[in-house]
Amino acid sequence: MGMSMHRDHRERFLALLARENAAAIVPTGALKIRNHDSEYRFRPRSDFWYLSGFREPDAVLVLVPNHAEATSVLFLNERDREKETWTGRRLGVEAAPSALGVARAYPLAELDERLEELLPGHERIVYGFGEDQQLDRRMLELVGALQQKSRALRPTPRQWVEPALGLHELRLRKDAAELECLRQAARVSAEAHRALMRAARPGVNEGELDALLDYTFRRRGGSGSAYGNIVAGGANACILHYRENDRALVAGELCLVDAGCEWEFYASDVTRTLPIGGRFSPEQRALYELVLRAEYAALARVRPGATQDDVHDTAVGVLVDGLLALGLLSGSRADALAQHTYRRFYMHRTGHWLGLDVHDVGLYVQAGKPRPFEPGMVTTVEPGLYVAEDDESVEPRWRGIGIRIEDDVLVTADGHEVLSADVPKEVDELEALLGGRERVGLQR
Ligand SMILES: [Mn+2]
């Protein structure tokens, strides 16, 4: 793995660029200020990491397949003894080619002037607009100037191409080395969720469990959480992106935990919903078993040729049947499906691509139709039900229950593999894990 994975990605993308007579300019971005003069921890942009394996900020990878001497060129910060004393070690221009396998490396300050020499000979440029307005403007000006002085012998770029059209299609299909990262991310997530289940009991604050997740992710070698952990007790679970994580858990309520480890910047995305105190109430249990049935039915649909819509429709079908049976929806099944009355309780989609980004790149629709799954794609499957605290259309006993069950799923040649299968989700397992403490007499 390591460098060879990124080199493989670069070679694959260069071959694609060569066919299109295209160059690519791929920046990683700069440190971002958190407040005053403190910065957020840096995380390379996913396209850049995929192609380079380089962790430092302030770098740009340029791929120029039609260039005579060097097809991969990295621009990065120069070594600087004084700056490194303050802000950390730098790889530097000299060491970059052998460390990363790029053909050449230059100081970032030379980017514009070198691009004038590297870009001619290519008809289009792959560049993602919208991340960095300053760089966007510089690139437009630079290419505009190139076109002004173009010579007939060497084509100058005339077209900008979005990374979504080629690079993101490569990222959508995971290779063996990437799958190893995704498996490792899921493995550590499983350990973190299990640790949380052992620690979750009445009186514990959501924030303590949030910290336990982060601790386990990083202790086991992950780079941290792949997105903001959600630890949502009671009706907080009905807020889909609940972030406060600061309330003490109460016996008898559910706690929804949506958290995934990031491994070498590859994400996992796992949700479990736990009975605090160790016993589901009848209403909680009815809804939980319904969501679990929907998840199993949806998972069973994941195989080559099926689509995200198939998976979603399957989950919705099971949920609607169950909601009708429990009296939470009324009327006919056909009407509930046609009029989307279930959306009061299930308002999100059932899955999304997973990879370097938790909501990973890759088109969901091609030529107006949902694209079929192919081996090597990774998706989440995550049905849920959320009954708002103030939903007066249902009996009070159902209100404030929020449930989601989410796993990470690899599409294989003959079906699928659940990467997060080690995270318990059966009712009996959860009741044993969360209630076991009383039986062995442990006190907080
Ligand atoms: Mn998800």
State residue 444's pLDDT score.
43
CA distance 380 to 131: 26
- DSSP annotation of 367 reads T
Give me the residue label for tokens 């910290």. 211
Find the helix packing angle between 427-440 and 282-300, rounded to 10°: 140
Q: In this structure, how many other beta carbons lie within 10 angstroms of the beta carbon of residue 281? A: 15
pLDDT for 392-409, tens place per residue? 999 999 999 999 999 999
39: CA distance to ligand 1 center in Å? 27
265: CA distance to ligand 1 center in Å? 16
Q: What is the mean pLDDT of residues 133-148?
A: 94
> Per-residue confidence at 155, pLDDT binned at 50, 70, 90?
confident
219: CA distance to ligand 1 center in Å? 23
102: CA distance to ligand 1 center in Å? 34
Q: What is the mean pLDDT of residues 97-117?
A: 97
444, burial (CB in 10 Å: exposed 0-12, middle 13-18, buried 19+): exposed
235: CA distance to ligand 1 center in Å? 19
Is residue 257's pLDDT more than 60?
yes
370: CA distance to ligand 1 center in Å? 19
State residue 441's pLDDT score.
45
Give me the residue label for tokens 């809804």. 287
Q: What is the mean pLDDT of residues 402-429?
A: 98
Strands 254-259, 230-233: parallel, antiparallel or unpaired by DSSP?
antiparallel
Query: What are the structural domains, with CATH classification, of the chain?
Result: 3-170 (3.40.350.10), 173-440 (3.90.230.10)
Say whether 306 sits in a helix, a strand or coil: coil
Ligand 1 is an ion; residues with CB less than 5 A from it: 269, 380
Q: In this structure, how many other beta carbons lie within 10 angstroms of the beta carbon of residue 85? A: 9
CA distance 227 to 262: 8
Alpha helices in 200-307 (DSSP H): 206-219, 282-300
Nearest Cα to Cα of residue 357 among 161, 91, 163, 88: 163
Nearest Cα to Cα of residue 358 among 265, 264, 423, 232: 265
349: CA distance to ligand 1 center in Å? 9
* Residue type present at position 216: T
CA distance 310 to 302: 9
- DSSP annotation of 372 reads B
Is residue 439's pLDDT more than 60?
no
State residue 150's pLDDT score.
65
Nearest Cα to Cα of residue 346 among 390, 408, 401: 401
State residue 3's pLDDT score.
76
Q: What is the mean pLDDT of residues 253-272?
A: 98
The HSE-up count of residue 434 (CA atoms within 13 Å, CB side) is 30
State residue 152's pLDDT score.
60
Strands 224-225, 104-107: parallel, antiparallel or unpaired by DSSP?
unpaired
Q: In this structure, how many other beta carbons lie within 10 angstroms of the beta carbon of residue 346? A: 22
State residue 311's pLDDT score.
98
181: CA distance to ligand 1 center in Å? 18
344: CA distance to ligand 1 center in Å? 19
Q: What is the mean pLDDT of residues 184-205?
A: 97
% of the chain exceeding 90 in pLDDT: 94
Q: What is the mean pLDDT of residues 74-88?
A: 95
Q: What is the mean pLDDT of residues 129-141?
A: 96
Residues assigned a catalytic role: 37, 241, 258, 269, 348, 352, 359, 382, 386, 404, 406
Say whether 141 sits in a helix, a strand or coil: helix
* pTM for this model (two decimals): 0.95
Torsion of CA 318, 322, 323, 325, to 10 degrees: 140
413, burial (CB in 10 Å: exposed 0-12, middle 13-18, buried 19+): exposed
Look at 154-158, 181-185, 191-195, 358-362 and tell me which has the smallest mean pLDDT.
154-158
> Per-residue confidence at 148, pLDDT binned at 50, 70, 90?
confident
Is residue 165's pLDDT more than 60?
yes
Query: Average pLDDT over the chain, rounded to whole?
Result: 95
**Exposure string over 31-65, b if 16+ CB within 10 A, otherwise e:** eeeeeeeeeeeebbbbbbbbbbbbebbebbbbbbb
182: CA distance to ligand 1 center in Å? 14
198: CA distance to ligand 1 center in Å? 23
